[in-house]
Chains A and B, each alone.
Chain A
Amino acid sequence: MQAYNTQTGIVCPLDRSNVDTDQIIPKQFLKSIKRTGFGVNLFDEWRYLDEGYPGQDNSKRPVNPDFVLNKPQYQGATILLARKNFGCGSSREHAPWALSEYGFRTVIAPSFADIFYNNCFKNGMLPIVLSEEIIDKLFTEVFVNEGYELTTDLERQVVITPDGTEYAFDVDEFRKHCLLNGLDDIGLTLQQSDAIKAYEQKMQQKTPWVFNELV
């Protein structure tokens, strides 16, 4: 997994609340058996004017000029600024895959849906929760300042604006550690194999039916 430390990048404002994962990556693209190839279909229904389907040549599709992702000033953005309850709905990890392949490493919102929030960390992305007031302020800043950039510093847990203002955010220690070091958490868990085996032995006595073979 790609490590995340500090990032400076253009901010793309997505001014909608309750953006669900069906919107982030519509279900027809979930038919893929790969982990890649989702970036071009990020926000497909908002981004293009026609209906998308897997395997199509996206460069030939009519784009929706009104959608933020298509506006020239937000090209190359790496930070997505969003509204509350971002990433609600289905558990599809294709959502963070699509965002990250498109180039977003950071999503900033007043709140996230739990599964999406968790899925971000597994993919080298940092979801940052800031208060509604700060988010409102950031939206205003982005709208009036073309090329508006933010810096995020995971080690220090702050978002830094161009004028040097710092906004602190919370992140759980374990996730921070994995993200800073780009660690694969399966490897980390397997270091605790003995504890897992000991647990299984104990439970085989207590709840043997859980361990029945499926015949």
Chain B
Amino acid sequence: MAGQTLYDKLWDAHLVSQRDDGSSLIYIDRHLLHEVTSPQAFEGLRLANREPWRLSANVATPDHNVPTVKKERSEGVAGIKDEVSRLQVATLDENCTAFNITEFTINDDRQGIVHVVGPEQGLVLPGMTVVCGDSHTATHGALGCLAHGIGTSEVEHVLATQCLVQSKMKNMLIKVDGKLGTGVTPKDVVLAIIAKIGTAGGTGHAIEFAGDVFSDMSMEGRMTVCNMAIEAGARVGMVAVDKTTIEYVKGRPYAPTGEAWEQAVAYWNTLHTDDDAVFDTVIEMDGSEIAPQVSWGTSPEMVVDVTQAVPTPDMAQDEVQQQAWARAYEYMGLSAGQPITEIAVDRVFIGSCTNSRIEDLRSAASVIKGRTVANNVKEAIVVAGSGQVKKQAEEEGLDKIFTQAGFEWREPGCSMCLAMNADKLQPKEHCASTSNRNFEGRQGNGGRTHLVSPAMAAAAALAGHFVDVREF
């Protein structure tokens, strides 16, 4: 019998029952909740008179709607100006109190973007099945977890049964060997992957990222990569457990200790793909060829090297792509063949569950140190992913580097990643953003998002247009 992939192992370890119709009941170890996709699930529980199956599996924190401006934030939930946002955050608080679910509330110093908080607190541990009503749950696969986003009906299903009905996905291996050049970051790696396989390239698959580039990568870098597996069409992205994983987990607040730690490590060390395992799809890339990436269009696959130009219609694969590009040129206000470095930026956003961890902020700060934001940039903001990240950054003096350069230093939350709170783009504004989606209107109606790494966003803020951070 052929060996198992990491995904096969995680699947088998969580199989509660196999049904005759081919579907399976899979046990969920950790369930993360936030204010946007949970209210209707709690309402469903109430209507059916059901209780959460296992309380200790659930942790909640508000992130999408919370204001990031200090003053508004300091007044807690009551201080949220937008009435609808306030009701949503208040509803999460009420539901967590009523059902007795652990919640890091708005001004708890552990609050933050749910995908930053989970690993940081040791709530997400290797080998777990992790779900959340949010597609970027793929992030947690970096720890060798089987993690994916679910819809609200499934949030209710997990609350009530601690299980999900699933069909097994296919296995995809994305192997990137070689060494990354200086100035090339995990974000560039994942953008280059999406550019190569397309936004539907991973559909129906669980992706495992392997090869030198990922074994050399830090945990936070792996989270950045797994985070965007969904932009490649895959609900699940993961990296095998290794020394880096175990060192990262050690000492986290909710990580096991003592004897349980030893027992856990012994199990976690088995969480990697067997040598003779077979993948349904294999993609190989050379890490040394990856350059800093910039998205030019309205889909995360519309990405090029910073040294290149907006592609011309003749470069499209087919007519459908040509049409999509034509719409993207128009929406983005760009012309085919225009060099990327000629695109001016109006706003800069460093944050989101893709790039708001301490290493991201360090990377941006190292570019910024001692320089100032260009005059044509109207606003540049840095939004730490969690209260813990913010605190750490302040201890290292990063906040000073940012504010002295002209950046605003905000309170943790999703912020301008999806503009559900007050942080948003105005129509036609170009934004250098470290987030993960550049869909039409994502950062505000009519706004134009360019996805980049934190270092590239920092460089763009200083230059006022995109620049190759390697020459900066």
Contacts and interface: CB of A to CB of B under 8 A. Distances in A.
Interface of A: 16-18, 20, 22-23, 26-28, 30-35, 45, 51, 54-55, 83-85, 88-94, 96, 111, 113-115, 118-119, 122-123, 172-175, 177, 185-186, 189-190, 192, 195-196, 199-200, 203, 206-214
B40 A115 contact: no
Contacts of A118: 151, 154
26 contacts: A26-B441, A27-B419, A30-B36, A30-B37, A31-B84, A51-B445, A84-B200, A84-B320, A88-B200, A89-B439, A90-B437, A91-B134, A93-B40, A93-B133, A115-B135, A115-B150, A119-B151, A173-B22, A174-B165, A174-B167, A192-B163, A196-B16, A199-B16, A200-B27, A209-B260, A214-B56
A113 B203 contact: yes
A54 B102 CA distance: 30
A135 to B, nearest CB: 11
A114 B203 contact: yes
Interface string B38-55: 011001000010100110
B151 A174 contact: no
A155 to B, nearest CB: 15
B44 to A, nearest CB: 8
Interface string B7-21: 000000000110101
Given A115-B135, A189-B165, A33 B439 contact: no
Contact of A45 (B85, B200, B445): B445
A209 B264 contact: yes
B65 A195 contact: no
A126 B430 CA distance: 38
Given A172-B23, A189-B25, 4 more contacts: A32-B84, A45-B441, A119-B153, A209-B256
Contact of A195 (B16, B200, B418): B16
> Chain B at the A interface: mostly helix, strand, loop or mixed?
loop
Contacts of A23: 439-441
A192 B269 CA distance: 32
B62 interface: no
B25 A28 contact: no
A138 to B, nearest CB: 15
Interface string B79-120: 000101101100100000000001000000000000000000
A192 B439 CA distance: 41
B279 to A, nearest CB: 18
B234 to A, nearest CB: 8
A33 B233 CA distance: 28
A122 B151 contact: yes
A113 B127 CA distance: 25
A85 B199 contact: yes
B254 interface: yes
Nearest to A206: B267
Interface string B406-439: 0000000000001110000000000000000101
Nearest to A176: B21
The 5 A-B pairs with the shortest beta carbon distances in the complex, nearest first, are A173-B21, A122-B153, A93-B151, A33-B39, A209-B256
Interface in B204-233: 204, 233
Interface in B53-82: 53-54, 56, 59, 64-65, 82
A16 B234 CA distance: 21
B285 interface: no
A175 B88 CA distance: 31
A17 B256 contact: no
B399 interface: no
A207 B267 contact: yes
Contacts of A20: 437, 439
A190 B160 contact: yes
A34 B37 contact: no
Contacts of B167: 172, 174
A207 B264 contact: yes
Contacts of B135: 89-91, 115
B293 interface: no
A33 B127 CA distance: 33
Contacts of B235: 114-115
